[in-house]
Amino acid sequence: MFKSKKEKGPKTLIDGRSEKQPQSAFHDDWREMKPAWRVSLLEMHTPYGWNEIGEGEAIQVRDRLASYESMKWKEIVPSYRSHFIKVSDLSKEARDHLVAIEQDDVDSVVSLGIDQMSRVVGILEHNVLKVLWWDPAHEVCPSSKPNT
């Protein structure tokens, strides 16, 4: 009496091979990706240091950045309060600080609106924002309102 030779292995009704791609797949276009944050360059003691932030403002920053995490960069950057700033338009202190931290090889920085006046400023590297400055009074890139 011979036993039939069956193929051994798990039995399943579901095919394990799939065409699905992970949600965190790398895109060539950073605009199609969700933001990520890097804080290793975050400054504590410059004219725009985080040592000046109060507890209420810190909570507001955390909440705003958390809300940005559910969006793609293409939804964040062209918005009313969030935009790119040319390095040449930055204050002298900000430009000098970029030189001091050896980050002066960029053409622009990103200003993320937190409220009407406050900003978080950093360097965008693909989809990762390297957070630099807390700018509660809009002084990193001073501007005057037109017709005033």
Size (the chain), residues: 148
Distance CA 132, CA 122 (A): 5
The per-residue pLDDT for range 59-82, each reduced to its tens digit, is 999 999 999 999 999 999 988 689
Fill in the amino acid letter for 46: T
Q: What's the whole-number average pLDDT of the chain? A: 87
Whole-number pLDDT of residue 18:
63
Whole-number pLDDT of residue 148:
44
The pair of structure tokens assigned to 39 is 């804080």
Q: Of the candidates 60, 19, 37, which has an alpha carbon nearest to the alpha carbon of residue 121?
A: 37
The per-residue pLDDT for range 96-113, each reduced to its tens digit, is 999 999 999 999 999 999
H-only helix segments in 5-116: 55-68, 73-76, 92-100
- CB count within 10 Å of CB 18 equals 7
